[in-house]
């Protein structure tokens, strides 16, 4: 029970999921690993993403993790099936764009899905979109370059707003009813994205659902930590980003 929950991302984006996990399970210990030295994953080939993800998962399980949260939409899309096949006895929870939630909240509406190129090209997202496309108009919006803004800690700048206008502008007439933040980096850009798409557009991400599912799986396995003070150990393949990681984690 006292072993940590490992949280993995291609860089700093998974910190948005870690924040939700801490809210849901404040008594738990967390081991976060970001692979910022290899970020972004979203423009890499699927096999490369899978290999990087499997390598990090192996390291985290060796470090004693009782569960693994793949807090990266791209890594989940590319590697979650192989991870579960390789570690059938382990608790492994992924994340996916919150499209189901968006469709439920805005039936018949226009839904814009912001995600990396890799997430949007994988079979996992195609299946998700097929299940829900009849209920709404769904627009895929790959957003190259946005992850790098977060990795630099550049959350509000003229260059960021210009990038958002360039990527989202063609999708704003008519305006969307909801925007799905389908990359865990994007919640850190929520204010800038809202300014671009308009205040009436709802922004949704999958962090809270992933946190609830992780808690459910741990409770089912009898592995929840029921007492004590929670803690977070932040690690990254690029140690120079750790001060920024600490700031993003505690920005709420």
Q: List residues with catalytic annotation.
A: 72, 183
DSSP conformational letter for 122? S
Tokens (6 digits) for 93 = 């929870």
Work out the number of other CB atoms within 10 angstroms of the CB of residue 236: 20
Cite the beta strand spans of 17-174 per DSSP E.
29-34, 67-70, 91-93, 110-115, 137-142
DSSP conformational letter for 131? H
Work out the number of other CB atoms within 10 angstroms of the CB of residue 206: 27
How is 183-216 classified by DSSP, letter by letter?
Answer: STTGGGGHHHHHHHH-TTSEEE-SHHHHHHHHHH
Please give the Cα distance from 168 to 148 (Å, whole number).
17
Please give the Cα distance from 242 to 13 (Å, whole number).
13
Residue 33, beta-bridge partner list: 8, 235
């Amino acid at each position: 029970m006292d072993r940590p929950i490992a949280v993995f991302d291609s860089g700093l984006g998974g910190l948005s999921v870690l924040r939700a996990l801490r809210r849901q399970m404040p008594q738990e210990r967390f081991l976060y690993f970001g692979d910022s030295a290899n970020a972004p994953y979203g423009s890499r080939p699927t096999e490369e993403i899978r290999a990087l993800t499997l390598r990090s998962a192996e390291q985290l399980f060796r470090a004693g993790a009782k569960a693994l949260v793949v807090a990266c939409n791209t890594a989940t899309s590319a590697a979650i099936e192989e991870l579960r096949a390789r570690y059938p006895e382990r608790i492994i929870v992924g994340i996916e764009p919150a499209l189901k939630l968006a469709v439920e909240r805005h039936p018949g509406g226009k839904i814009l899905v912001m995600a990396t190129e890799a997430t949007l090209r994988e079979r996992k997202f195609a299946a998700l979109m097929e299940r829900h496309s009849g209920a709404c108009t769904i627009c895929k919006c790959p957003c190259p370059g946005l992850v790098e803004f977060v990795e630099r800690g550049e959350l509000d700048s003229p260059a960021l707003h210009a990038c958002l206008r360039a990527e989202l502008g063609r999708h704003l007439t008519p305006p969307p009813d909801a925007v799905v933040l389908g990359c865990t980096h994007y919640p850190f850009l929520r204010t800038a994205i809202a300014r671009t798409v308009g205040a009436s557009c709802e922004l949704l991400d999958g962090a809270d659902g992933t946190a609830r599912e992780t808690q459910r799986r741990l409770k089912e396995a009898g592995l929840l930590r029921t007492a004590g003070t929670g803690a977070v150990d932040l690690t990254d393949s690029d140690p120079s980003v750790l001060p920024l990681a600490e700031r993003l984690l505690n920005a709420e």
